[in-house]
Amino acid sequence: MPKSFYITTPIYYVNASPHIGHAYTTIVADVLARYHRMAGVNTFFVTGTDEHGDKIAEAAQKAGVTPQEYADKISAQFRDLCPELSITNDYFIRTTDSNHIETVRHILQKVYDSGDIYFGSYEGHYCVGCERFYMEKELIEGKCPDHQTKPEYRKESNYFFRMSKYQDWLINHIKENPDFIRPERYKNEALAFLRDPLEDLCISRPKSRLQWGITLPFDENYVTYVWFDALINYVTALDYPDGEKFKTFWPAAEHLIAKDILKPHGIYWPTMLKAAGIEPYRHLNVHGYWNSDQSKMSKSLGNVVRPLDLKDKYGLDAFRYFLLRDMVFGLDSNFSEEAFVQRLNSDLANDLGNLVSRTIAMAIKYCDGKVPEINREKKDSALQEAALKAVTEVESSFNDMSLHKALIAIWEFINVTNKYIVENEPWTLGKDPANKEKLTAIMYNLLASLRSIAILLTPFMPQTAEKILRQIGVAKSSALDLANIRKDDALTAGSPLTRGESLFPRINQEKESETSEKKSPVTDLKPEIDYEEFTKVDLRVGKILTAEAVPKSNKLLKLKIDIGEERTIVAGIGKDYTPAELIGKTIVVVANLKPAKLMGVESYGMLLATDTDKGLTFLTFDREAKTGAKIH
Ligand code: MSP
């Protein structure tokens, strides 16, 4: 464990309200902060809002208010979300804070004085959504790959940061510190950016065009470009340059972001730090994207998932659990309410909730409502071994940021504990007073397991952990950490046991969806086939490599698909998907369908899909599947 730990989230733009993507990053940061604090590590956790720039100015104008009024309103939504999600940030930074403005101007002046900022002219394709210029080759069909809008062509004189000067240094730094950017796929992506010569970074906007920014200390007529402003928040929050916090926490800086802002964090920020004479951060931790209904969340698609709606409907800890359990750190994940409810019912209501409620009920019955005294030599070591295994796995999962694996390890332990109940049948032992000692030991072991589970769950589900501890009579003030599990501390005999409310009531999915909708038998079922016949269909995992419209057809798209070999498949999906959104999708292919010609193009294979109210949708996988793998 490090001595200090500094964890940051991106500072979020104030042009739209928070959604589950923002909530996810902040919750992961919270889990990491809680975990380190629990281990006694000196921790500082910062989140906040990014408030300058074209985007905010435009949104404010549309709303008919000043940028500051607009920023105040949305920033408050992000700030208020923190206590709602039990986020334990130590500081909430806003780029409109005066100490931040001062720090940005200080660093700009420093870099300017050292000769790494110069005045020059620039022209190119500028996307307002991304707040950056794009090179011709980066555009897809002339549009921004992220926003699918046509960028404006802009030409202006501006200040530039000599980023190119630090290219070789950065490549070496990444190579010498292989986990500087992690997981590895994002390190490779950063190195891929660095394969081409780095251009210098335009860091200003003339005030004639944009007023809403921090004025350059060396030219009154310009404001700073948003990234040069925003990234500096990470050191402002530590009172750079002279603050004690900066000395303590900067060497332990862990940034947490999603893949969308890898370039500014992996390329701009380290070179800015180098130019300002500041050591690089320790790690850049990059996660994937939450999609909704298999596509990117966007207001226009109407598929934005709002964190507070889910929290209010299902409870905070269930929401935190689902997000942390269902995303493999680094990969994209799809949000669906059905999957959420399924996890809630199986992992939380069945496995954990039942374990707690039946253990407490039995312990109250067989041990007079108190934690029993036992002869510790007679302790059953199987449960303790399972607890130790979980501790080791949780620790290693935190080391490599795979929080879902930590939860899998905790659930293995929960399941071992549930099995222990089934195998030992306390209810049978309870029928004969001669078994009293054995039964007491079993109940003690179960209560000790509940304490270990609560400790392990604390960073992830703090409210649940507290509820469990309360039920087994552990005082709120007790400082607990993984070392308590390792040492197998004794529970305090005589502590009162109390029955709590059900931790996670089951959600009746049918009821949730529509109680009035009675299920009737399917009437258009095809004639039955036997298994032999079914196995004749060769289904494979396919990955869409390219997609283009078939000339003269308004519906057909020609797809190149990797199923272990490259196939051309023509599909009638042009009205449901644009070619750009298909590329990279993993789908199900009928691989042994005889080839056929469609509008003159030979098609070999078929994709599986179904109709929905919103159009056709493909069958995909809820975990990463290997391209070309057989489906059975
Ligand atoms: N203001 C910049 C960041 C400056 S940091 C110095 C910005 N803001 S943002 O509001 O667009 O937030 C982007 C971040 O929000 C992502 O990197 C991620 O942390 C989170 N997410 C936003 N949408 C997301 C998903 N759909 N899925 C997962 N996280 C996402 O970029």
**Residue 93 DSSP SS3:** strand
- Both tokens assigned to 483: 């070392």
- Which positions ≥6 away from 462 have C-beta within 8 Å? 34, 86, 317
Output the residue whose Cα is nearest ligand 1's atom 5: 10
Residue 581 alpha carbon to ligand 1 centre in Å? 20
Residue 124, pLDDT score: 87
Structure tokens at 292: 């909704």
Is there an atom of ligand 1 within 6 Å of 230 CB? yes
The number of the ligand 1 atom at minimal distance from the alpha carbon of 297 is: 26
Question: How close is the Cα of 28 to the center of ligand 1, in Å?
Answer: 13
Confidence of residue 517 (pLDDT cuts 50, 70, 90): very low
Amino acid at 279: E
pLDDT in tens, 208-230: 989 999 999 999 999 998 899 99
Query: Which atom belonging to ligand 1 lies closest to the Cα atom of 269?
Result: 6
H or E, element range at 13: strand 4-13
Average pLDDT of 247-259? 98
* Residue closest by Cα to atom 17 of ligand 1: 258
Contact between residue 214 and residue 51 where contact means Cβ atoms under 8 Å apart = no
Instruction: Count CB-CB contacts under 10 A for residue 347.
Output: 22
For ligand 1, what atom is nearest to the CA of residue 10? Answer: 5
- Give buried/exposed letters for 410-447 (b at 16+ CB in 10 A, else e): bbebbebbbebbeebebeebeeeeeeeeebbbbbbbbb
Ligand 1 neighbourhood includes 13 CB (under 6 angstroms): yes
Give tens-digit pLDDT for 563-610.
999 999 999 888 888 887 888 889 999 999 999 888 888 999 999 988
Average pLDDT over residues 178-203: 96
Both tokens of 178, joined, read 């292989």
Query: For residue 362, how far is its CA from the centre of ligand 1 (angstroms)?
Result: 47
DSSP codes, 112-143 = HHTT-EEEEEEEEEEETTTTEEE-GGGSBTTB
The rounded distance, in Å, linking the Cα atoms of 272 and 294 is 36
Q: Is the CB of 78 under 6 A from ligand 1?
A: no
| CA 628 to ligand 1 centroid distance, Å | 33
**pLDDT tens-digit profile of 383-406?**
999 999 999 999 999 998 999 999
The values of phi and psi at residue 448, to 5°, are -65, -40
The predicted structure's pLDDT at residue 317: 98
Residue 378's pLDDT band (boundaries 50, 70, 90)? low
* Residues 107-137: tens digit of each pLDDT: 999 999 999 999 998 888 988 887 778 888 8
Predicted local confidence at residue 467, as pLDDT: 96
pLDDT of residue 377: 67
Give catalytic residue positions. 19, 22, 127, 130, 144, 147, 296, 299
C-beta 261 within 6 A of ligand 1:
yes
The least confident of 87-101, 236-250, 558-572 is 558-572
**pLDDT the model gives residue 128:** 81
pLDDT at 523: 64
Residues 231, 297, 549, 616: what is their CA dihedral angle, to the nearest 10 degrees? 160
Amino acid identity of residue 320, one-letter, is R
Quick one: pLDDT at residue 364?
96
CA distance 163 to 149: 28
**Positive or negative: CA dihedral 32, 34, 40, 45:** positive
- Residue 600: Cβ-neighbour burial (10 angstroms; 0-12, 13-18, 19+): exposed
pLDDT given for residue 622 in this prediction: 76
Atom of ligand 1 at shortest range from CA of 258: 17
- Separation in Å, CA 146 to CA 45, 128, 369, 583: 30, 11, 60, 13
Cα 570 vs. chain centroid, distance in angstroms?
35
